[in-house]
A = this chain, B = another copy of it.
């Protein structure tokens, strides 16, 4: 019923395991130059409950950057077999190093995650994610092989060939970026097939935050069940938290991580069930433990127990990044709020784009919205009405009224990779 019995472990025992592993992690971390210095006065024996993790200082992305490349390593470099790195286009990159044992641990977590949403050894998985330095590709790949699925490393792009592979090899599980999934469904039709005739049954659509509405759309258009997941390379990559078949939040693997939700301003824990910044501590990583990492991702713990019987707590879908927040006329706005609002309207098509512009006096938001063909009629009055309704709905969500521009299907350029949702033109005007 579970991939690993630890998934349904009694909470008291699970928390004991966390305490034991946290103590070991602190001891181990002190072997790295960075934590040796920072944890000088930390005694692992002061940890008596998982909540005691709050006695330790935070680690930030800037810390990782300042320690680039080797400051967090607890072992000599020759003990490591894998490196992943952020692109570093905006300054010093962040590099994450893995020992063979770390790769094994990660593959097991990934296999457990995919099992959790219904993948089995008898499934055939096609990985449409790019490989390389991005952890999504190799992370899913190793986990899929570990679970024993027949794994097709298709990589990104070449949709026509992807469709042929899916049909030829009866692919049942697809790893796909949400913004690519809708495009994919359309391509399937262009190739002369109906999504319901495709052999697939499960889409793993993590890697990119998206709304419940976007999921519903993917499930409907692709005729598939879509499961959300959460991960970040600082915590290995994908496989940190994964939805089970009940699709009501992502089980965060608490035998491998301690998760906290804090107020990003004060650093204090938020009240039970409230949204805040997710802070993560590795419990099973030997080569590069990271303690109290400020993910900048906003989410909350979902209260209550899950019907699946897993005892690991669930986090809600990511509602934004502490860094993605736009400030417009003094109001805090997250792109996810806008997506949620748009996707709830039946007239809205597959793509949208937020532009922040400045008219020299104040900042303005322009939202370009693709409208489905059947609603993109020649009746100007109907279109103006729709435009007004969108603006009004958005205003009630974000408290400012944006300019809304209606666009035809496919008129907003699509990225095959991660979708660009916000273009900030304020500096350039």
Q: Enumerate chain A interface residues (CB-CB to B < 8 A).
A: 68-69, 77-78, 80-85, 87-88, 93, 95, 97, 100, 103, 121-122, 124, 130-133, 137-138, 141, 144-145, 148-155, 161, 164-165, 168-169
Q: Please measure, in the bound complex, the distance between the C-alpha atom of A132 and the C-alpha atom of B161, giving whole angstroms.
A: 13
Task: Report Cα–Cα, A81/B100, bound state, in Å.
Answer: 20
Task: Please name all residues of chain B whose beta carbon is closer than 8 Å to the beta carbon of A133 when the two chains form the complex.
Answer: 152-155
In the assembly, what is the distance between CA of A121 and CA of B133, in Å? 21
Q: Is the CB of B169 within 8 A of A154?
A: no
A160 to chain B, nearest CB (A): 10
Evaluate contact between A161 and B78: CB separation under 8 angstroms: no
CA distance A83 to B144 in the complex (A): 12
CA A272 – CA B85 in complex, angstroms?
50
Q: Quick one: given A69-B169, A145-B103, are A81 and B164 in contact (CB under 8 Å)?
A: no
B85 contacts A165, CB within 8 Å?
A: yes
Cα separation A168 to B144 with both chains bound (whole Å): 31
A155/B168 in contact, CB under 8 A:
no
Contact of A132 among B82, B131, B149 (CB under 8 A): B131
Interface contact B169-A81, CB-CB below 8 Å: no
Q: Told that A78-B122, A78-B150, A81-B145 touch, could you supply 9 new A-B pairs with CB distance under 8 A? A: A78-B121, A78-B148, A81-B144, A81-B151, A82-B151, A84-B153, A93-B168, A131-B137, A131-B153
Closest to A83 in B: B152
Tell me which residues across on chain B come within 8 A of A161, comparing CB atoms: 87-88
Among A87, A93, A133, A137: residue with most chain B CB under 10 A: A133
Contact present for B169 and A82 (CB under 8 Å)? no
Q: Which residues of B contact A81 (CB under 8 A)?
A: 144-145, 148-151
B148 touches A132 (CB 8 A): no
Closest to A150 in B: B80
Closest to A97 in B: B150
- A92 (CB) vs chain B CBs: closest residue: B168
- Residues from chain B with a CB closer than 8 A to the CB of A122 are 78
Task: Report Cα–Cα, A93/B169, bound state, in Å.
Answer: 12
A77 touching B153, Cβ below 8 Å: no
CA distance A161 to B131 in the complex (A): 16
Chain B min CB distance to A387 (Å)? 41
Chain B residue at smallest Cβ distance from A126: B83
- Residue pair B150, A138 in contact (C-beta under 8 Å): no
Q: Which residue of B lies closest to A82 (CB)?
A: B151
Residues of B close to A83: CB separation below 8 A:
150-152, 169
Complex contact B131–A155 (CB within 8 A) = yes
**Bound form: Cα–Cα A87–B154 in Å:** 10
In the complex, what distance in Å separates the CA atom of A178 from the CA atom of B152? 27
The answer to whether B132 and A154 have CB atoms under 8 Å apart is: yes
Distance to closest chain B CB from A170 (angstroms): 9
* A to B CB contacts below 8 Å, 12 in the list: A69-B168, A80-B150, A81-B148, A82-B151, A82-B153, A83-B152, A85-B165, A130-B155, A131-B137, A131-B153, A132-B155, A133-B154
**A69 CA to B150 CA, complexed, in Å:** 13
Q: Are A88 and B154 in contact (CB under 8 A)?
A: no
Write the chain B residue with the least CB distance to A85: B165
Complex Cα spacing A124 to B79, Å: 11
Q: Is the CB of B69 within 8 A of A145?
A: no
A132 to B127, CA, bound (A): 9
Contact B130 A88 (CB under 8 A): no
The listed residue with most B CB atoms (<10 A of its CB), out of A87, A103, A149, A165, is A165
Minimum Cβ distance to chain B for residue A219 (Å): 26
